[in-house]
Amino acid sequence: MEFTSVNKIFESAFKKNWVRPAISNYQGETLHFRDVARRMEKLHIMFEECGLQRRDKVAICSRNQANWAVAFLATMTYGAVPVPLLHEFKSANIHHLVNHSEAKILFVDEVIWEGLSESEMPDIQAIIQVNTFKILYAADPKIYEAKVHLNELFGKKYPEAFEPEMLNYYEDSADELAVINYTSGTSGFSKGVMIPYRAIFSNIEFATKVLPTLNNKSRVVSMLPCAHMYGLMFEVLYELSVGCHVHFLSRLPSPKIIMQALAEVKPSVVIAVPLVIEKIYKTKVKPILEKEGIKFLMKVPGLNQVLFNKVKTELVNAFGGEFYEVIIGGAAFNKEVEAFFKKMAFPFTVGYGMTECAPIIAYDDWKEEKLYSCGKAAPNMEIRIDSSNPSEVPGEIQIKGANVFLGYYKNEKATAEVFTEDGWFRTGDMGILDEDGSLFIKGRTKCMILGPSGQNIYPEEVETTLNSQPYVVESLVIEDDGGLTALIYPDFQQGAKDGMTQSEFVKYIKSQLSEWNKELPNYAKLKKVEVMSEDFERTPKKSIKRYLYQRH
């Protein structure tokens, strides 16, 4: 890999696409590349007035919106280090992470600011409202002054005009710290992942190879949290580096809003988490397939292909009709849904990544990827399985390459624990690697349950079986009282539609234990079923926070 400065890539993209649209708030304002560059330049002036130095930290905590991207890019191109914080974090956690990261400036939206206090963040020099860039707090009165006279200061710096050739962004180097991204994983502890510029460059290089169809005429809908590396890298940074137009869903992205935006924007690629795709399948596709006449026709050779094609056409149109593929990642994909999508040749692919790799580890084009696989090692990456027989016996997935992070910020112990003696990163995921190099994930090492006869039970595999059952929205399998308990969040609405009271419905779900066990191997049979009255607590990637439900 021949490294190129990431900030210089953005500088070049801005110069080339100066008059083209860059970022929009869905059903709101649109900023062209020149508008984004102007706002970034004004923030650079503010940073100077705040005494911000190269490599100082700048925290950003808000919902997705156009100015989120402006603040992030302004920080990086200035030579400071952006620290994206998930807006779902509680106030005490935000205070802690701002302090832990040693951030000098905090960008925040007004809703989050209501729960915060500058006195809890003693090292902060300025707090800036994201959507307006209004100064909410400044340690030094001259910062307020600078904001009042910002247009004047900008005019002094560019007395004639602000032209593309005047851009001169900070030139970064390969192993230099680019971003600190705090994880919000299923294990419950936030760690500051130190991502170097080489990892961002390598991810851009990867996307350029696998999505050559994206260019400065392409459009993308950003629906994943920008503060999460998956959304940040593949819905924002890569797109802007090639001149795409990014549309931010600034409201809570419900399936209804997502589908509406996809239909209107007609994106060139769709980046999604499994939950979004699974909801579309359960609400739009499954009800059609379960009609008696359709069930029969699906078994008739020739006719079933006609039905597959009809469903595929409807789905393609629902996603805007102009995309190359839907890239799914961030959590395990339901096997029933995956198999159905594969059977009808819907253009989707399942990737594998982690925050620690900014994020990509494995991927394959939708035309090539094997069913239930998450592709092959991405460019500049190597994968190995810690197992005596890596193609058959699951072992820990270990990786090496340009995408791998520098370590956890101010946490040498945690950093040491995740690297092997010969320098491979231990992902904590279990998998197998077939003879073609395709990776199949089996589960998390932390989630693995040792069965009564010494077998390794991966709860995710049991959950896949349960999640495909009628009335089951989501499940979680835990070890309890020496056996396996399934926590089930069922579709109460559907139960009511089918004429059951809530207590009858709960009783019915519990009665399915013996039926479900028929589909499970002997060593992974369930001992008990418990019904959840509310959905599970989730991470921003929509994975269940498993640690909240463990009982030992």
Q: Give tens-digit pLDDT for 47-99.
A: 999 999 999 999 999 999 999 999 999 999 999 999 999 888 889 889 999 99
pLDDT digits (tens, 9 = 90+) for 305-318: 777 888 888 889 88
* Average pLDDT value for residue range 193-210: 97
Count how many Cα atoms sit within 13 Å of the Cα of residue 108 in the half-sphere of its side chain: 24
CATH number, domain 449-549: 3.30.300.30
Q: What is the CA angle 97-99-101, rounded to 5?
A: 65
Max alpha carbon distance in the chain (Å)?
79
Q: Is the pLDDT of residue 28 over 80?
A: yes
88: region left, alpha or beta (phi > 0 left; psi from -120 to 50 alpha): alpha
**Class (C level, CATH) for 270-322+325-444:** alpha beta
SS3 state at 273: coil
Mean pLDDT of 208-235: 93
CATH of domain 13-195: 3.40.50.980
φ and ψ at residue 427, rounded to 5 degrees: -75, -25
Residue 292 pLDDT: 64
pTM of the model as a whole:
0.84
Q: How many C-beta atoms lie closer than 10 Å to residue 296's C-beta? A: 10
Judging by DSSP bridges, how do beta strands 103-108 and 381-386 pair with one another? unpaired
In the chain, list all ranges with CATH 3.40.50.980: 13-195
First-to-last C-alpha distance (Å) of the chain: 46
3-state secondary structure of 4: coil
Q: Which residues pair with 500 in a beta bridge?
A: none
Point out which residues pair with 383 in neighbouring strands: 399
Give the bridge partners for 382, in sequence order: 400
In the predicted structure, residue 331 carries a pLDDT above the cut 90: no
| 147-161, 278-292, 526-540: the lowest-pLDDT one | 278-292
Whole-number pLDDT of residue 186:
46
Q: Is 304 helix (H, G, I), strand (E, B) or coil?
A: helix
Tokens describing residue 188: 């419950």
**Average confidence score pLDDT of the chain:** 91
- For tokens 């069913």, what's the residue? 371
Q: Is 239 left (phi over 0), alpha (psi -120 to 50) or beta?
A: alpha
- The answer, yes or no, to whether residue 42 has pLDDT greater than 50, is yes
The boundaries of every CATH 3.30.300.30 domain in the chain are 449-549
Q: How many CA atoms lie within 13 A of 169 on its CB side?
A: 25
415, 408 Cβ separation under 8 angstroms: yes
CA atoms of 222 and 79, how far apart (whole Å): 25
* pLDDT bracket for residue 541 (50, 70, 90): low
Contacts of 515 (CB under 8 A, 6+ apart): none
Residue that has been written with the tokens 């102007």 in this structure: 38
> For residue range 414-451, what is the model confidence (pLDDT) as tens digits?
999 999 999 999 999 999 999 999 999 988 777 777 76
